[in-house]
Amino acid sequence: MGSLDGKVAIVTGAGRGLGRAHALLLAQEGAKVIVNDLGGEWDGTGTDDRPAQQVVDEIKAAGGEAAANYDSCSDWKGAEGLVQQAIDTFGDLNILINNAGILRDKMSFNMDEADWDGVINVHLKGHFAPSHFAAKYWRDKAKAGDQPYARIVNTASEAGLYGNAGQANYGAAKAGIAALTIVLGRELQRYGVTVNAISPRARTRMTETTFGDAFTQKGDFDMFAPDNVSPLVVWLCTEDAADVSGQNFVVFGGRIYTMGGWHVVDQIDKGAAWTVEELSAQKGTLFKTKGSGVPPFDLG
């Protein structure tokens, strides 16, 4: 007996890396999985049906149920068809794991419009479009008196929480996903839908492109294996996590950090409008707290 027996899940970008690990563990826990992957390169170019189908074959070989989907999750019609495929194939939809992404890293002064639009489209729209159609389905069920079992897990990044030079497009998209998670959590709570996000550190095609061999195994425990991230993702989809929503977790190896968002660090209040000269005089008060930020990849 698995913790997700009979549940129906979609995983975007599930042909490789983190998405593949999520899909395999979901199936191991009893979920029926739609494995979505356009099959493109790490920069979003090209298509290939084989990665998604290979994951489907792995799941079936292990006794699970799965079907492949090769559409772009950032395409509005494609996202609608993806959600409908889950319903038509397995009779319901309970879990949506938004994971698909690409990288086109450049410094802001070298980045062109296609670099910006491509990354924002795949990450941010590619999270929102499937979420929109899943949310519509679950809302309609709830309004008809059929309480849905519904989970969304998004994929943010520390690049969106802290910012990395050379990743204006990626960081902005991931920060948007972190905010989108909170918004969707608040909107969909009344329908019984939980929405959470992870900010993972794992060895994937994208991290190898950005960080080289920094994420290679250096000891007996492979800290950056994608498989280390999936248990949290799957747990967030279980009944035990029904009261967890609107959260963002940094996760890698055996470590999980529950993250907090923007908050007041220091403040000044004159009770009236400030002048430029007065603000200069109060600079020390406005920034009296030191060390409130944590640089990326330095959580100890």
Cα 8–14–20 angle (5° rounding)? Answer: 95
CB 8 within 8 A of CB 86: yes
H/E stretch holding 166 reads: none
Residue with tokens 């409908």: 84
Maximal C-alpha separation, the chain: 71
218 is a catalytic site residue: no
Residue 22, token pair as written in the block: 């999520």
- The string of DSSP codes covering 81-94 is HHHHHHHHHHS---
Element (H, E) at 247: none
Which residue, among 132, 25, 148, has the nearest Cα to 92 in the 3D structure?
148
DSSP letter at 2?
A: -
∠213-73-205 over CA atoms, to 5°? 10
Instruction: Report the C-alpha dihedral over residues 73, 78, 83, 87, rounded to 10 degrees.
Output: -140
Sheet of 32-36: strand order equals: 66-69, 32-36, 8-11, 95-97, 150-155, 193-200, 248-252, 255-259
Catalytic pick among 174, 199, 230, 245: 174
Task: Check: CB of residue 80 under 8 Å from CB of residue 133.
Answer: yes
Catalytic residue list contains 170? yes
The encoded tokens of residue 247 equal 């959260």
Separation CA 288–CA 273 (nearest Å): 21
The values of phi and psi at residue 67, to 5°, are: -145, 150
Q: What share of the chain is helix, strand, coil (3-state, %, to 5)?
A: 40, 15, 45
Q: Looking at the annotation, which residues are catalytic?
A: 157, 170, 174
